[in-house]
Each structure stands twice: as C-alpha cells, then as structure tokens.
Amino acid sequence: MRKPLVAGNWKMNGSLDSINTLLGGIKEGLGNVSEAELAVCPPAIYIQHVASSLKGTNVALGAQDVNDKPAGAHTGEHSVSMLKDFGCKYVILGHSERRTLYGETDDFTARKFIAAREAGLVPILCVGELLEEREQGITEQVVARQLDAIIDLEGAGALGAAVVAYEPVWAIGTGKTATPDQAQEVHAFIRGMVAKEDAEVAAGLRILYGGSVKGSNAAELFQMTDIDGGLIGGASLDATEFLAIGQACNS
Ligand code: 13P
C-alpha cells in the first residue's frame, strides 16, 4: 500500500506572521487527517523557523530546491547537507517554475536528484507538459524525457526512494485542473514506464498530482488508481484548504 502524500509548495510566499498563522491552523486541525502524510515546503529562509514550529508533530518538512554541489562558490544557493541540518525530509526538484523561469534543464535536475538521494533526502521530482505540448499530443514524450533523465543516469531503482509529481504546466496557478481521467492517464503512463524497468519500484512509487488542487476537487483526483496524493501550491497557504486536501485522502 502506498501512503498518500499531500505536500504544500509555498513557493515564494509568506512572512513570519502569515507562516505562524498557517502553521497554527495546520497543527490545530492535524488530528482530522488520518491517512495522508502531510509535508510543507517553505522558502529556504524560513526552513529553520518552520522546523522548530513543527517539532513534535508528524508534518514533514521539505525544501523547494537544492544545488547539486556539496559546497563552495555558488552564491545564493544551498546544499543538501544544509537541508539535512534542519531536518528536511523532502526536496522538490525540477518544478516547472525552475525549468521555465530559470532555465533549469533535465540534466541539471537529474544531478540535483542524485545529490539529494545520496544525502538521504527524498526528491519530489516534478514532471509535466506545457499547454502547447499537450495540444501537439506530445505529453507522454515530454514526461518520458523528463523521467529518462533520471533513469538513464541512475536506473529506475533511483526512483525507489523518491516521489514523482505530475504537474501539467497549464494547470499550475491557473485554476484549470486536469480532469481526474486526464491526470490518471499520465500517472498510469509514468507508473507503466517505471514498471518496464522495475516492477517493484513502480508498484511502490508515489505519484502526486499538482495543478490547482483545492479542497473541493481533491477527493475526485485522489480516488484515481495511480494518484497517490498532491503537490499543492496556492491552496497550501490556507490551513483550512490544506487540511481539507489532506482529509480527502481519508478512506
Ligand atoms: P497551484 O496549486 O497553485 O496550481 O500550484 C501547483 C504547484 O505548482 C505545486 O508545486
């Protein structure tokens, strides 16, 4: 059985005040989330603060990105060991905003993936197609290319200690969610692709859906066979919404 994961990607949002309110709300309602593992991924500068606020709860901590190098002259970056120092379990890699706004390639993402795994962090590898790629009918090729960057370098076994998040770029922050069937089709493709290499890894792989998930549409997405939770942007900034998404995994 795959334990569902609902991870909040706060992106570049929040202040000490708003984060305290958000975490207070999450901690208060945590008891109503029975099946899903919850994780929050704050901006790096708030990781230490969030770590101490979440101490004693079962909410996991993640980062939104990491550098592939262990240390050195990389102004503005942070390393895997720095994330480990503050108790991060997860790290989001290859988010479409990193790929499109900051030009990060499949290759660079794969190198970060390896560094994260070697340090014992669980990568949440984001894959997904642009609107024009979906319209051209090349969604599967795009997702396969993004996954192959890891598989070619490390083998499918590398995904055994990772999470994949399918985030169609056209659904991110647009209010336009993929239908459960559209999402399931790509999730099944991803699992099938991994299964061709390693059936056991494929069966245990958590594949999250991301893109305009809200409390009101989470249950219909999460009931699909190959959808094992969500990577949540906007709705993860509101404790009630985030918890409602977590509760959508309750059986
Ligand atoms: P939204 O939930 O705001 O669409 O963002 C999704 C996302 O990019 C999560 O990583």
Count how many Cα atoms sit within 13 Å of the Cα of residue 199 in the half-sphere of its side chain: 0
Q: How far apart are CA 156 and CA 187, in angstroms?
A: 16
Catalytic residues: 95, 167
Question: Residue 217 pLDDT > 80, yes or no?
Answer: yes
**To the nearest whole number, what is the mean pLDDT of the chain?**
97
**For 137-166, what is each residue's pLDDT tens digit?**
999 999 999 999 999 999 999 999 999 999
Q: Per-residue confidence at 1, pLDDT binned at 50, 70, 90?
A: confident
Q: Which atom of ligand 1 is nearest to the CA of 11?
A: 10
Structure tokens at 212: 């305009």
Is residue 125 one of the residues assigned to a domain?
yes
Residue 100 alpha carbon to ligand 1 centre in Å = 14
Cβ(221) to ligand 1 under 6 A?
Answer: no
Name the pTM for this structure. 0.97
Q: Is the dihedral of CA 174, 175, 181, 184 positive or negative?
A: positive
Atom number in ligand 1 closest to CA 211: 4
Q: Write the CATH number for 57.
A: 3.20.20.70
How many whole angstroms from 33 Cα to the centroid of ligand 1? 21
Q: What distance in Å separates the CA atoms of residue 140 and residue 79, rounded to the nearest whole number?
A: 32
Domain count, the chain: 1
Q: Is residue 161 part of a domain?
A: yes
Instruction: Name every residue whose Cβ is closer than 8 Å to that of residue 76 and which is 6 or more positions away in sequence.
Output: none
Instruction: Give the other-Cβ count within 10 Å of 82's Cβ.
Output: 18
Residue 211 CB less than 6 A away from ligand 1: yes
Q: Which domain covers residue 173, as residue numbers? A: 5-228+238-247
Q: What Rg, from alpha-carbon coordinates, does the chain have? A: 17
CB neighbours of residue 80 within 10 Å: 24
Q: Are 122 and 115 in contact (CB under 8 A)?
A: no
- For residues 87 and 51, the answer to whether their CB atoms sit within 8 Å is yes
